[in-house]
C-alpha cells in the first residue's frame, strides 16, 4: 500500500482547454479527500496548474482520462505497409488495445478506439502535457504498474464511465447540459467513496469537473489495490492499461442501492 497522504490529480483530458477538468485530492491510506476543482477557462496552462499542485509533493498519482499508448498490432502492421495494399490484421485488433477489449469484456463499456478515432489527438495532447510536467517539475513521471510506491510522481490511464459502472453507479444523463439532477444524484454516490469539498457547485454545473473527480475515484481504486491488473504485462507496458476496479456483483449492487435509498429517505 502506498504511503499516507499521496496526492491524486484527476484530469479529464480534451483537445479544447475549455473542456479540460482538473481535480486535486489526497489519499490518507484509507480515504480520499478532494481539495481543489478547476474547469472551464483555466487561468493557466494545464501543465502549469498541475505542476503547482504536485511539484512539492513527496508522492503523487496523476489519473488521466485519455489513452496513453497505441495498439501494438497497429504499429506492427503499418510499419512496412504501402498505399493500396490490404492490411491483414482484423480491424478490431488493429484499432483496439488489449485493455480496450478487456474493459469491454469485464465491465461492458467500450473505450473509444485510439487507432481510428479523434481520441488519438487527445492522447497525443495528454502525453505532451505529461512531458511538460516532467520539465516544469524537474522530476520523472513514470506510468504506475503497482500501487506500492512510497514516493515519486506517477501516472495511470483511467476511464470514468467504466469506473462508475464497476462501482455500480448507474445514473444516465449526467453528461447532458440539462442533467443537473443526475449530477446531483451522482455526487451523492461519490460522497460514499470520497470526502467532497464543502462547495460542490462546480461539480453540479460542469460535467468536465465531475469527470475529473471520477478520475480521482479511479485513482483511489488503484491505490487500494482494487483495480484489475493486466492479463499480459509486457503488452500492457507497450500499449497502456486502463485501471478499473473489479465490478460489483449483482448482490452487492442491490445492497448498495438499498443503502442509498435508505440514506436518501
Per-domain boundaries in the chain? 6-264
Tens digit of each residue's pLDDT (9 = 90 or more) over 141-185: 999 999 988 899 999 999 999 999 999 887 888 888 888 889 988
| Phi, psi dihedrals of residue 171, rounded to the nearest 5° | -130, 90
Q: What is the pLDDT of residue 4?
A: 56
What is the Cα–Cα distance from 248 to 265, expressed in whole angstroms? 24
Q: Which of 71-75, 136-140, 243-247 has the lowest mean pLDDT?
A: 71-75
pLDDT band of residue 2 (cuts 50, 70, 90) is very low
Mean pLDDT, range 199-208, rounded to an integer: 92
* Alpha-carbon gap, residue 111 to 118, rounded angstroms: 12
Task: For residues 249 and 15, give the distance between their C-alpha atoms in angstroms, rounded to a whole number.
Answer: 36
pTM above 0.95, yes or no: no
Q: Is the pLDDT of residue 265 over 50?
A: no
Question: How many Å apart are CA 232 and CA 98, to the nearest integer?
Answer: 8
Given a cut of 70, whether residue 256 has pLDDT beyond it is no
The pLDDT value recorded for residue 9 is: 98
Place of cell 505532451: 128
Q: Which residues of 141-177 are buried (b: 16+ CB within 10 A; e: fewer)?
A: bebbbebebeeebbbbbbbbbbbbbbbbbebeebeee
Amino acid at each position: 500500500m502506498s504511503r499516507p497522504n499521496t496526492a491524486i490529480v484527476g484530469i479529464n483530458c480534451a483537445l479544447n482547454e475549455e473542456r479540460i477538468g482538473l481535480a486535486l485530492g489526497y489519499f490518507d491510506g484509507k480515504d480520499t479527500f478532494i481539495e481543489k476543482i478547476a474547469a472551464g477557462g483555466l487561468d493557466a496552462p494545464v501543465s502549469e496548474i498541475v505542476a503547482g499542485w504536485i511539484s512539492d509533493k513527496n508522492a503523487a498519482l496523476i489519473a488521466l482520462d485519455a489513452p496513453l499508448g497505441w495498439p501494438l498490432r497497429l504499429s506492427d502492421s503499418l510499419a512496412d505497409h504501402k498505399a493500396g495494399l490490404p492490411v491483414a490484421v482484423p480491424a478490431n485488433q488493429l484499432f483496439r488495445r488489449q485493455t480496450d477489449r478487456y474493459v469491454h469484456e469485464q465491465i461492458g463499456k467500450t473505450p473509444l478506439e485510439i487507432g481510428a478515432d479523434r481520441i488519438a489527438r487527445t492522447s497525443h495532447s495528454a502525453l505532451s502535457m505529461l512531458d511538460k510536467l516532467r520539465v516544469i517539475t524537474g522530476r520523472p513521471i513514470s506510468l504506475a504498474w503497482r500501487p506500492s510506491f512510497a514516493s515519486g510522481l506517477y501516472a495511470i490511464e483511467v476511464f470514468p464511465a467504466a469506473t462508475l459502472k464497476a462501482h455500480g453507479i448507474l445514473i444516465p444523463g449526467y453528461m447532458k447540459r440539462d442533467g443537473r439532477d443526475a449530477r446531483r444524484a451522482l455526487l451523492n454516490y461519490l460522497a460514499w467513496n470520497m470526502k467532497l469539498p464543502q462547495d460542490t457547485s462546480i461539480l453540479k454545473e460542469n460535467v468536465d469537473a465531475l469527470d475529473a473527480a471520477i478520475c480521482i475515484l479511479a485513482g483511489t481504486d488503484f491505490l487500494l489495490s482494487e483495480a484489475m491488473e493486466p492479463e499480459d504485462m509486457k503488452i500492457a507496458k507497450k500499449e497502456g492499461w486502463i485501471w478499473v476496479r473489479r465490478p460489483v456483483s449483482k448482490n452487492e449492487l442491490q445492497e448498495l442501492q438499498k443503502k442509498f435509498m435508505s440514506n436518501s429517505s
